[in-house]
Amino acid sequence: MSNPQNKAFPVSWDQFHRDARALAWRLASSGPFQAVVCITRGGLVPTAIVARELGIKLIETVCVASYHDYTSQGELRVLKEIAEKVVALGGPDGAGILVIDDLVDTGKTARVVRDMLPKAHFATVYAKPLGRPLVDTFITEVSQDTWIYFPWDLGLAFQEPISDVSRG
């Protein structure tokens, strides 16, 4: 993982929707895809948006967990594998399958899923440099020392004013 995460990149729902739709536009010429494999949980929202745009209704999950307390990555565990009948829909080694996640950071998650479907098309909304070589299509790159804050992890909160002149 990419410690220290000294920069923050907060993403609103609007921005995420726009970025995920931009991903769908970019993917439209890379298909057709027989199915989407969504890497949960972060891939769930972009998968819904991309699948809607591309008209894909066959959606499978692969459930991977690794970040335990947000910024520190622990041992990577595959909680649920990809169903064989979904793998068989594509060509050999997953050709014709689209894999979607919210981001690639160190690339460890992407590596595990790529090993399951070496010829699938791997797409993420955001990418950091270490993971970027594992992704076929993405929208925005951020530096390795940036932590991306997704809208489903955020809430409205008071912000201290930039200047403290009003406090006398």
**Interacting residues toward ligand PRP by CB under 6 A:** 1, 39-42, 65-67, 73, 101-110, 131
Comparing CA positions, the residue from 91, 126, 96 lying closest to residue 110 is: 126
- For Mg ion, the closer of residues 32 and 111 by Cβ is 111
Catalytic residue among 14, 19, 69, 102: 102
- 101 included as an active-site residue: yes
Answer whether 119's CB lies under 8 Å from 95's CB: yes
Catalytic site residue from 14, 69, 93, 101: 101
Which residue's structure tokens are 């995420």? Answer: 16
Q: Give which of 163, 62, 57, 60 is closest to 110, Cα–Cα.
A: 62
Shortest CB 67 distance to ligand XAN, Å:
5
To the question of whether residue 43 is assigned a binding role by annotation, the answer is no
Could you tell me the two tokens for 38? Answer: 């969504």
Region of residue 126 (phi > 0: left; psi between -120 and 50: alpha; otherwise: beta) = beta
- Residue 105 in marked binding region: yes
**Torsion sign across C-alpha atoms 160, 162, 8, 102:** positive
What are the start-end ranges of the E strands in 56-143?
59-67, 73-80, 97-104, 121-127, 140-141
Pick the piece of the chain touching ligand XAN (CB under 6 A) from 15-23, 49-57, 114-122, 148-156.
148-156
Quick one: which of 33, 42, 82, 90 contacts Mg ion (CB under 5 A)? 42
145 belongs to the catalytic site? no
Among 33, 122, 138, 147, binds ligand XAN (CB under 6 A): 147
Which residue numbers belong to the known binding site for 5-phospho-alpha-D-ribose 1-diphosphate? 41-42, 101-109
Which residue numbers belong to the known binding site for xanthine? 105, 148
Would you name the residues annotated as active-site residues? 101-102, 105
